[in-house]
Amino acid sequence: MDRFCPKCGAKGKNFIKNLCEKCFWEEKVSHIPNNLRVYLCRSCLSYLQGKRWIRIKKKDPSLAAIEGAIKEFQRNTKIPNDTKILKIECNTAEWNKSGLPKKMILDITFASEGASTSLKREASVEYATCNFCQSVADGKYEALVQIRGDEGQLSEEKRKTLESSIDKFYRTALKDRSDITEIKEKDGGIDIKFLTSSKARLFAKKLSEIMGADLKESAKLVGADRMTGKRHYRITISVKLPALEPGDIVSFKDRIFKVLGHHRGKLILEDMEDHKRRSIPQNVISDVAKIDKADIKRVTIGTRSQNSITILDLEEKRFLELPAEKISNELKEGDEGLLINLNGKEKVVRRQ
């Protein structure tokens, strides 16, 4: 007796688990919908996945529509445990009048019980405005981070460090979604608006760790919910960057140091005499004093006598004679050093 499919009665077909190939695959994938809908943000090309907007790296409408269609298919499709998706390909089938993708075609390859099949499904693309872009358009923000220098103006060195910190914050803390709605220069500093106060506080904390910034937070009542009565506040975080920058020559406890930078809120110094590093905690950074450039001169070490050493002031082109104990023992004849006036006392250390 010829074998037949118990579901459709077909004979002479390829059979998989007692069903003809057509009926077998109908049971596996026929429930997959053909009316997928993809939402793209018309401003930033993020695509909506569930209730969350996902931003793609490349600002390409086709790539955004393809990724959105594939993710929407995977999110809405349930397949049996014994069935696998081998491959999903997606292409734009139709464009709208603005030249943006309107309809996508997905070509999906399934595998089960040693057999495989392909299935085509359509996905329409519609355009909306994501929550983030709408908030930017409406001028909404929950927190303002105001970054200023020690005397208001930001130095070029601090600006470069800030740019690096902001870029790193985008790539790590914010990951796939920027929470910064605006960055602008104001009053010699930088103002940054955040959609959420939690990300603003995180960013300010990072600046404190990286640059030794002093933080102060204030809140302003901006409204209340009519139904619940819950009050809404907008916070402002004042970030005051320290006066000390990498390369500055400073004094601390009557010794001379070079500023290397900040790490986790501590000031990192290098002793210019023994070259050992020291970490100065936040609560005593105020005891570190910057040495004025007028009190620092470039010199060359000359001849050494029993109790004194001759040095050449490279700026004023004149010779000076100092007691030997005022010159670092590591400096030899011909070496270049720095003559530093520290609280009325002179000291010569190696120039680094």
Instruction: Dump pLDDT digits (tens) for 107-146.
Output: 988 988 888 888 888 999 999 998 888 887 887 888 999 9
DSSP codes of every residue in 182-223: EEEEETTEEEEEES-HHHHHHHHHHHHHHH--EEEEEEEEEE
Residue 174 has pLDDT above 60, yes or no: no
Residue with token string 């900040």: 262
Q: What is the pLDDT of residue 318?
A: 87
By the 8 A CB rule, do 207 and 163 touch? no
Q: What percent of the chain has pLDDT over 90?
A: 16
Q: Model-level pTM? A: 0.55
By the 8 A CB rule, do 269 and 252 touch? yes
**Cβ neighbours around 153 below 10 Å, total:** 11
Tell me the average pLDDT of the chain: 84
**Cβ neighbours around 114 below 10 Å, total:** 6
Q: What is the pLDDT of residue 176?
A: 41
Q: What is the pLDDT of residue 217?
A: 93
Structure confidence at residue 68 as a pLDDT band (50, 70, 90): very high
Structure confidence at residue 16 as a pLDDT band (50, 70, 90): confident
| Cα–Cα distances in angstroms (integers) from residue 182 to residues 89, 94, 140, 141, 142, in the given order | 37, 35, 10, 9, 12
Residue 170 has pLDDT above 70, yes or no: no
> Tokens at residue 163, please?
């740019």
Residue 171 has pLDDT above 70, yes or no: no
Q: What is the pLDDT of residue 143?
A: 93
pLDDT in tens, 193-242: 898 888 899 888 888 877 778 889 999 887 777 777 778 788 999 988 87
Structure confidence at residue 152 as a pLDDT band (50, 70, 90): low
Q: Are strands 266-271 and 214-224 parallel, antiparallel or unpaired?
A: unpaired
| Cα–Cα distances in angstroms (integers) from residue 210 to residues 165, 189, 205, 265, 267, in the given order | 8, 17, 9, 7, 9
Q: What is the pLDDT of residue 326?
A: 83
Q: What is the pLDDT of residue 156?
A: 77
Residues 32-54: what's their mean pLDDT? 88
Residue 287 has pLDDT above 70, yes or no: yes
> Tokens at residue 59, please?
């600002």
By the 8 A CB rule, do 93 and 87 touch? no
Torsion angle of C-alpha atoms 166, 234, 199, 63, degrees rounded to 10: -80
Residue with token string 């100092």: 322
**Cβ neighbours around 16 below 10 Å, total:** 17
Residues 62-85: what's their mean pLDDT? 88
> Tokens at residue 33, please?
């919908």
| Cα–Cα distances in angstroms (integers) from residue 99 to residues 47, 91, 96, in the given order | 18, 15, 5
Residue 298 has pLDDT above 60, yes or no: yes
Which residues 6+ apart lie within 8 Å of 118 measured at CB?
107, 108, 109, 110
> Tokens at residue 350, please?
């190696």
> Tokens at residue 131, please?
């929550």
Q: What is the pLDDT of residue 172?
A: 59
The amino acid present at 66, given as its one-letter code, is I
330: nearest Cα among 251, 270, 273, 249: 273
Residues in the chain: 352
**Candidate from 65-74, 145-154, 267-276 with smallest mean pLDDT:** 145-154
Residues 251-261: what's their mean pLDDT? 88
CA distance 38 to 122: 10
Most confident of 3-17, 100-114, 180-194, 309-323: 100-114
**Cβ neighbours around 15 below 10 Å, total:** 14
> Tokens at residue 12, please?
């002479």
Q: What is the pLDDT of residue 107?
A: 92
Structure confidence at residue 1 as a pLDDT band (50, 70, 90): low
Residue 266 has pLDDT above 90, yes or no: no
Q: What is the pLDDT of residue 116?
A: 87
